[in-house]
Amino acid sequence: MEKSDYNQTDMGTPQGGTISPLLANIALDQMETDLIEHLRGIKGWKSKIGSTTVSIRTKVKKAKKSQKEIKKAQTELKKSQKESKGTQEGIEKSYKVRNKLKIDLVRYADDFVVLHEDKEVIEESKSFIGNWLEVRGLTLSEEKTKIVHSTEGFDFLGHHIRHYENRVKGTYKLKLLNGTPTEQRRAKATHVLRVEPTKDKIKGHYREISDTIWKLKTATPVQLIATLQPKISGWANYYKAVHSSEAFGKLDTFLWRRLYQWACRRHPNKGKRWVADKYFGTVNGRKWTFAQIVGKGKDRKIVKYIKGYSKHKERTGSYARVGYDRSYYDGDTAYWAERLSKGYGNITPSKAKMLKRQDGICPVCKCRFTNTDLPEAHHIHPRHLGGEDKYTNLVLVHLHCHDKIHRENPGIRGIKIDQISPELQGYLDNGMAPAYQGKNIKMPTSTNTVLSLGGGAGKIITTASGIKPPTDTSTVLRTGKGAGIITPASDDDKGSI
């Protein structure tokens, strides 16, 4: 597809296919290494290119802590570095870099950019890469290949990267000069680097959102939200870690206008205030949020709402840097599991949020998630018992742990949460609702309740029910007075093992 004209692919792979990035990575592998070796081999250019020696950069997050806490953190950091023997033990603490290398080649599939302060080096790099690609049967695109100064800026992977003149002045500049070393450098800098979404990407995305709203003129608010939210979240999550506040603010305004037009069109005979009260509400302090609203007055309730662009924004640069020599397939599962526990990886933002909250550990098997695991969201209070689909009611577990929970503990159907006893409510709070049948077993009245984990898994055994604990080798977990004590199943309640 080119300029709305479809051309049949007779040979090779179609553009945009899933195999294209893999083939590009295979063909363009070693480009950076060969380029650096070539440039360093030119007489007198070693000082221009720099050294390729590797060092470990340590990055400690600064916070308002006491001197005692700072010393303790530094001691733990040195200990972790000593135990890891140069490997990256803490994701946000240390990573391998080449500090003395003065040239950078950043590549993503078949798109790449070469960065250097000397134009002569860039021109030589372009010539070398052209010859290097020719050997592999490839050529540089003359339309897309250009040499620009950083103050002019360039587009790369949907981002506009440019050095802007530093306009910090007045009392704010004096405040920075009297601040931390980082703030002082910012005040003295002649130019400031900004990475922001390109105008074409912003316009294209807004056009897509506008067209989607236009096509759904007769849809309900719930259907409209369900269609728009994945598009908004997907675009915003791609740009959330760069300088995107201005773009997000504009898109939020455009989105509000378009949704307000959609709402007014549905009710041409109603006033604007009536339309606003029906489709817009205040969510977490943000007014004019498009939502599905039910009820009136005190019974007014927001069922579902659109999460705007600005709500996805994160602090610029708030990501963990990957070591230059790291690969997703290098076999270092501990490193990538640690990254995953910090929320970095090929996972959805919702699962990343739950992983951070759980420190990357599954609450069922107490094992850390790895990059090859299949995480699954589990509802603590089951939805068929009235549980809500919110973060406070969700926990991330392994897929096999999730199957185990529902296999061994099928839950309670037909009973509302407020009708369940405190003992059983405790199990629900822990996300492990045991099977309970109200026909033959009375509701638990004793605090000496045990949950069988062996052959009788899923049964609640109490003194009120008349059922004795199992006498086989099954293990039971006691709650109530002896909570947290695992004992062998027996008739007596003696010491723990």
- What angle in degrees, to the nearest 10, is found between the helix axes of 245-266 and 221-239? 170
Rg of the chain over all Cα atoms, to the nearest angstrom = 30
Q: Which one-letter amino acid corresponds to residue 142? A: E
Helix (H) or strand (E) holding 457: none
Torsion angles phi and psi, residue 348, rounded to 5: -75, 155
Closest CA to 458 of 441, 482, 445: 441
**Residue 437 clears pLDDT 70, i.e. is over it:** no
Q: What is the pLDDT of residues 111-153, one digit of tens each?
A: 999 999 999 999 999 999 999 999 988 999 888 899 999 999 9
**Residue 86 clears pLDDT 90, i.e. is over it:** no
Q: Which one-letter amino acid corresponds to residue 84? A: S
Q: Which of 314-323, 336-345, 377-386, 483-492 has the highest mean pLDDT?
A: 377-386
Q: Are the beta carbons of 233 and 312 closer than 8 angstroms?
A: yes
How far apart CA 457 and CA 451 sit, in angstroms, is 7
Q: Are the beta carbons of 164 and 153 closer than 8 angstroms?
A: no
Q: What is the pLDDT of residues 270-321, one digit of tens each?
A: 999 999 999 999 888 888 999 988 888 788 888 889 999 998 888 776 677 7
Q: Say how far residue 68 (Cα) sits from the centre of its chain.
A: 33
Give the per-residue pLDDT at 365: 83
CB contact burial 255-280 (16+ within 10 A = b; e otherwise): bbebbbebbeeeeeeeeeeebeebbb
Q: CA of 418: how far to CAs of 286, 388, 439, in Å?
A: 32, 14, 19
Torsion angles phi and psi, residue 35, rounded to 5: -65, -45
Closest CA to 60 of 46, 70, 49, 50: 70
How far apart CA 380 and CA 388 sit, in angstroms, is 9
Side by side, which strands form the sheet with 486-488?
460-461, 450-452, 475-478, 486-488
Tell me the domain boundaries of the chain: 19-41+100-147, 158-197, 202-311, 333-409
Give the per-residue pLDDT at 158: 92
- In the three-class reduction of DSSP (H, G, I as helix; E, B as strand; rest coil), residue 441 is classed as coil
Q: Which residue has the tokens 């023997």?
A: 85
CA neighbours within 13 Å on the CB side: how many for 309? 25
Query: Residues 383, 389, 392, 396: is their CA dihedral positive or negative?
Result: positive
Q: What is the pLDDT of residues 19-78, one digit of tens each?
A: 888 888 888 988 999 999 999 999 889 888 988 887 777 665 544 444 555 566 556 655
Residue 398: count of CB within 10 angstroms of its CB: 19
How far apart CA 12 and CA 162 sit, in angstroms, is 36
How far apart CA 337 and CA 347 sit, in angstroms, is 12
Give the per-residue pLDDT at 391: 81
**Residue 445 clears pLDDT 80, i.e. is over it:** no
* Partner residues linked to 56 by β-bridges: 96
**Residue 464 clears pLDDT 50, i.e. is over it:** no
